[in-house]
Structure 1
Amino acid sequence: MDSEALLAEERKIRRLRRAMDLAVTLLWQVDLTLTEAQEVVEHAKKTALELFPDKEQTFDLIYGPRFRRVLAEKYRLH
């Protein structure tokens, strides 16, 4: 991978990280219904897949538990 491609990949990773952090912050800090919160998670997943197509399983492994934990704690889904 050349340096330009590496820099582009690093930018995509930073953008992904910011998007996921923003989604988690929204879930915790904004008074959303459960349906709205689930839409935030779906939008976060869509954003991730736009940046990294064909990585749905990776998203589910890395970010799925994080989002499920937030939803379970905030909306008492045990």
Structure 2
Amino acid sequence: MATLEALEEEDRHVRQLRTVVQLALGAIAQTDLGPAEAERLVAAVRGTALRLFPGKELAFDLIYLPRFRRLLAERYGPVSLSGWSVDES
């Protein structure tokens, strides 16, 4: 059974990740970042997520990557985000 401290820490990590994702989505949507800069920002967010939740690459790719792909495609046209594990279709 998880301890209260472990549950609180996980909750903090979830809130941190949610904040980072929302800030990144906002930066991409509302600033003049170029496509390459936006893709680097997505990669940095993914790195942050994996530091907070080691071994959860697939979870990030299934939950957050589609949101970033949709926004990048809306702003810049089709993007590849190549090398990441989730199929782009």
Task: Provide TM-score, normalisation by structure 2.
Answer: 0.84
Work out the number of aligned pairs and report it: 78
Deviations 1:3-50 (A, max 9, x none): 111111100100010011111011101101110010010000000001
Residue 76 of structure 2 corresponds to: 75
Tell me the distance in 2 between the aligned counterparts of 1:41 and 1:5: 28
> Once superposed, what is the RMSD of the aligned Cα atoms?
1.1
Identity of aligned residues (%): 49
Residue 7 of structure 2 corresponds to: 6
The alignment status of 1:57 with 2:58, answered yes or no, reads yes
Tell me the distance in 1 between the aligned counterparts of 2:55 and 2:78: 29
Q: What's the offset of the Cα at 1:2? A: 1.2
* Unmatched segments (≥5 aa) in structure 2: 80-89
Where do 4+ consecutive residues of structure 1 move more than 6 Å? none
Residue 48 of structure 1 corresponds to: 49
More helix by share: 1
Tell me the distance in 2 between the aligned counterparts of 1:22 and 1:9: 20
2:33 aligns to what SS in structure 1?
coil
* Unmatched segments (≥5 aa) in structure 1: none
Residue 16 of structure 1 corresponds to: 17
